[in-house]
Amino acid sequence: MTRPQVEVERILNGVGLVSLAGRQLNVGYELAGQRVTLRMDGTQMAVISHDGKLLRTLPCPVPPAERHRLRGARRAAGMPSPSAGPVIVQRRVSQRGSIMVATQRIHVGMSHARKVVTVATNDHSFHISLDSETIAVVPRTTSREIHRYKAYATAAQAAKPAQIRP
């Protein structure tokens, strides 16, 4: 017998924690003070914003048999769809040939040092490409979210001619 999805509404405190089943759960500092819906299904818990956007998923700390006892628990509506397509990010390869995406260090190769690569992420892997050519497909070992999307390489400063004062 499968149990129905259960959801509760909570307001996150000033440091991004929420009280759930007598425990403090870290949802995220960047969401502090917001009203969110916590939708529990199986072993996963979806954090949904007030406008219905899926913010993140976390492991559910409440066993399925006890979810109906939560304060304000109700049967969940349909699950919001995650953003369409993979997340595309850019990274500049370090001089030692590696990049970091979602706290996972990926070795690209020293031949690509100081170049900007494009990384297409999905649930299970990272697809790394340079100039629309795939150079690596790496399995994803982390469930962390991506917070940085753009590579900021230092721009080469053009040499300014020296000004002579009269």
Look at residue 85 in the predicted model and tell me its pLDDT. Answer: 61
pLDDT tens track for 60-90: 888 888 888 898 888 887 655 455 567 888 9
pLDDT tens track for 136-150: 888 888 777 777 777
β-pairing, 125-130 vs 98-101, is unpaired
The answer for residues whose C-beta is within 8 angstroms of residue 1's C-beta and 6 or more apart is none
Q: Are 140 and 104 in contact (CB under 8 A)?
A: yes
pLDDT tens track for 12-61: 998 989 988 888 988 888 888 889 999 988 888 888 888 888 888 888 88
User: Tokens 């790394």 map to which residue?
Assistant: 128
Confidence at 153, pLDDT banded by 50, 70, 90: low
Does residue 121 carry a pLDDT above 70? yes
Q: Are 38 and 47 in contact (CB under 8 A)?
A: yes
Look at residue 106 in the predicted model and tell me its pLDDT. Answer: 92
